[in-house]
Amino acid sequence: MSNKLSNKIALVTGGSSGIGLASAQELASQGAKVYITGRRQEELDAAVAAIGPAATGIRADASLLSDLDKVFATIASESGRLDILFVNAGGGDMMPLDAITEEHFDRIFGTNVRGLLFTVQKALPLLNKGSSVILTGSTAAVKGTANFSVYSASKAAVRNFARSWALDLKDRGIRVNVVSPGPIRTAGLGGLVPEEHRQGLFEVLAAEVPLGRLGEPEEVGKAVAFLASDDAAFINAAEFYVDGGLAQV
C-alpha cells in the first residue's frame, strides 16, 4: 500500500460505480481521505463499504447546484479543505442527429458541462494551493462517433475548460488536467445498447483498440491517482489518455 496521498482530502463526483469508484478506491489505497458523491443512496452506501473507512458518501446530483452546495458545506465542516478534486460525474447515451431532443441535450450538457463547471467553481474556496483538479474527458472528443454527437461535444468542452482554468488558477498553483478514457468495461458502457447486444459492442470496441482489449476501471483509477500526486507536479492543462492507443493511431 502506497502512502503518496497521505493526509490528502479528495472528492470524487460520480464515485459510486465504474471509473469513479475505482478511482476513489485507488486514492484511498494511497492514503487519501475520500468523499464520493452519487445519486442513488443504496449504490453510494455499497461504494463506501467497498472503499473502506477512508470514504464518506454524500448523496448528490451533480447537475443540481443546490446539491453541490450541500456537498461542499459537508466537506468544509468535516475537513476544512480539498487537495484533490476528481470531477467524474457524467454520462451520455446514443441518439442519431435527426432524433436529438432538448431533453437529451439538456441532460447530458447539464451534468457533463454545466455540473462540471459549477463543481469546480464551488470547490475553489476549499482548494489548497497546489491542489490537483482532474476532469473526466473521453476519446470521443477527438474521434467522430455516429449517434454520439452530444456526448462527444460535451467532452470537447471539458477539454477546453482545462486549458482555460489552468490559466485562471495559475497564481494559486492549482493544476487542472483531463483524464480521457477509451472504451472501459463499465456498466455505463454496456448500458449504451440492449443487454443482448452488449458482448457484441464490447468485441467491436476492443477490436478498434491497438492493445486489442477494453480497459478496466482500475487502470483509469491509477492514472487519476498519478495526476493527483506530486509525481505529476509539472503536468498541467494536459489531456492524459487511458485508451490503449485508440485515439493515438
Residues with a known catalytic role: 151
> How is residue 219 written as a grid cell?
487502470
CA nearest neighbour of 88 among 214, 193, 188, 8: 188
CA nearest neighbour of 89 among 43, 32, 146, 148: 43
Neighbouring C-beta atoms of residue 211, cutoff 10 Å: 12
For strand 55-59 and strand 175-181, is the pairing parallel, antiparallel, or unpaired? unpaired
Q: Output phi, psi for 61, to 5 deg.
A: -100, 115
Long-range contacts of 34-40 (CB under 8 A, 24+ apart): 34/10, 35/9, 35/10, 35/11, 35/71, 35/74, 35/75, 35/79, 36/11, 36/12, 37/11, 37/12, 37/13, 37/62, 37/71, 37/89, 38/14, 40/16
